[in-house]
Amino acid sequence: MGTHHDCDVLIVGSGAGGAPTAAVLAEAGLDVLVVEEGPWVDQGAVTPFSLEQMERQYRNGGLTVALGRPSIAYTEGRCAGGGTEVNSGLYRRPSEQTLERWREGWAIRDFATGDFMALCDEVESALSVQTVPGRHTPASERLRAGAAALGWAHDEIPRWMTYPEGDDAESGQRQSMTRTYLPRAIAAGARVLTDTRVDRLIVDRGHAFRAELTDAEGGPVTVDFADVIVCAGAIHSPALLQRSGLRGLIGRGLAVHPTVKLAARFGEAVNVSDDVPVHQVKEFAPELSFGGSASHPGLIALALTDAWSTMRDAITAWPEIAVYYAAITSQGRGRVQALPGFRDPLVTYRLTRRDRDVLGRGLARLTQVMLAAGAREVYPSFRHAPIVRNRADLATLSDRFSATAASVMTVHLCSTVPMGDDPEVAAADSHGRVFGTDNVHVNDASLLPDAPGVNPQASVMAVALRNARRFVEARR
3-state secondary structure labels for all residues of the chain:
CCEEEEEEEEEECCCCCHHHHHHHHHHCCCCEEEECCCCCCCCCCCCCCCHHHHHHHEHHHHCEEEECCCCEEECCECCCCHHHHCCCCECCCCCHHHHHHHHHHCCCCCCCHHHHHHHHHHHHHHCCEECCCCCCCHHHHHHHHHHHHHCCCEEECCEEEECCCCCCHHHCEECCCCCCHHHHHHHCCCEEECCCEEEEEEEECCEEEEEEEECCCCCEEEEEEEEEEECCHHHHHHHHHHHCCCCCCCCCCEEECCEEEEEEECCCCCCCCCCCCCEEECCCCCCEEEEECCCCHHHHHHHHHHHHHHHHHHHHHHHHEEEEEEEECCCCEEEEECCCCCCCCEEEEECCHHHHHHHHHHHHHHHHHHHHCCCCEEEECECCCCCECCCCHHHHHHHHCCHHHECCEECCEECCCCECCCCCCCCECCCCEECCCCCEEECCHHHCCCCCCCCCHHHHHHHHHHHHHHHHHHHC
Whether 207 is a known active-site residue: answer no
Q: CA-to-CA distance for 68 and 346, rounded, in angstroms?
A: 11
Q: CA-to-CA distance for 346 and 252, rounded, in angstroms?
A: 12
Of the candidates 335, 364, 338, the residue with the CA atom closest to the CA atom of residue 256: 335
Q: Which residues contact 208 (CB under 8 A, 6 or more apart)?
A: 201, 202, 225, 228, 244, 437, 439, 440
Q: CA-to-CA distance for 464 and 34, rounded, in angstroms?
A: 15
Catalytic residue among 279, 296, 412, 441: 412
Note the Cα 15 to chain centre separation in Å: 10
Note the Cα 286 to chain centre separation in Å: 17
State the burial class of residue 31 (Cβ atoms within 10 Å of its Cβ: 0-12, 13-18, 19+). middle
Neighbours of 199 (CB within 10 A): 14
Residues classed as catalytic:
412
